[in-house]
Structure 1
Amino acid sequence: MASTAGMASGGGRRRRRARRGGAINEINMTPFIDVTLVLLIIFMVAAPMMSAGVPLDLPQTKAAPLNSDAKPVTLSIKATGQVFLDEAELQDQAIVGKLAEVSKKGFEERVFIRADKKVDYGRVAQVMSIVSTAGYTRVALVTEPDQR
């Protein structure tokens, strides 16, 4: 009995020693997490700067913002009178064709017109006329909220 008690207490076990300088078969997650957090911070800082569109100086009004679920089709008019769909410049003759390509709901698509406040009112009316005579009934002007 005494001999079996010694074995039960661990006297006969072999112990493995870790090799020094051998390959470690565990993944070190620290560099992965560091890189992921750095990328997250970069994208959080860069996301507000990536707002697409043509830079314009929009007029300010006291009108309330519209509730819109889907991204509307937006035409932008620079101070020089050039018309852009997203960031692509359009000639007046091509406006209707491009609107037909990008509109998902057909003539029921909401079309926003953003115009620099230095643009001649006649030019804005001309672009609105082109869009409305093409059959689009939901045309709206975009302004910035009044800061006063």
Structure 2
Amino acid sequence: MAFKPQSDSDGALSEINVTPLVDVMLVLVIILLVTAPLLTQSVHVTLPKTASTSANIDAQPLQLGIDALGVITLNKQPVINLLALEATLKAEFTKNKDVGVHLYADQAVVYKKVAEVMATVQQAGIAKMAFVTVEE
């Protein structure tokens, strides 16, 4: 049995044991080498061929505006009343089923007017509607 000889300084041993660190690193490298091929596997599929198509970029959303006085405009053209608006929106919806509406409402508009216009858009069959706001 070997003992450390008694010396005047009983300080701590300041050497780092590197063996456990090397063992852990080797285990991690082995795990990486085993799992890397499993992560790169993919399913090989032969995709069907179709005719080339293009995106419908021409389908711009309709711009529906309500000013401070409650006047309704569709694409910057004034609308007489909600019935005329609904008829126009239904005509646009029959042309393009994916048509959307951007609603520009003045902050001074009574909420009731905005709700009536939103209900009219929904009755016309248009489901895509977005509110346009200004960033503060």
Please report the TM-score for the alignment, with normalisation by the length of structure 2. 0.51
- Give 1:109 deviation, angstroms: 1.2
Alignment of 1:98-113 (within 5 A): 98-103=88-93, 104-106=95-97, 108-113=98-103
1:118 aligned onto 2:108: yes
The amino acid of 1:95's aligned partner reads L
- 1-structure distance, mates of 2:89, 2:124: 9
5+ residue gaps, structure 1, are 1-68
Q: Which has the larger radius of gyration?
A: 2
5+ residue gaps, structure 2, are 1-56
Alignment of 1:1-148 (within 5 A): 70-90=59-79, 91-103=81-93, 104-106=95-97, 108-146=98-136
The amino acid of 2:83's aligned partner reads Q
- 1-structure distance, mates of 2:83, 2:123: 13
CA RMSD of aligned residues (A): 1.6
The amino acid of 2:112's aligned partner reads G
- Give 1:117 deviation, angstroms: 0.6
- Give 1:80 deviation, angstroms: 0.7
Inter-CA distance 98–76: structure 2 relative to 1 (3 Å threshold): same
- Give 1:86 deviation, angstroms: 1.5
Inter-CA distance 100–134: structure 2 relative to 1 (3 Å threshold): closer
Query: Secondary structure at the residue paired with 1:84?
Result: strand
Please report the TM-score for the alignment, with normalisation by the length of structure 1. 0.47
Describe the superposition over 1:6-31 as per-residue Cα deviations: whole angstroms up to 9, x where unpaired.
xxxxxxxxxxxxxxxxxxxxxxxxxx
- Give 1:135 deviation, angstroms: 1.3
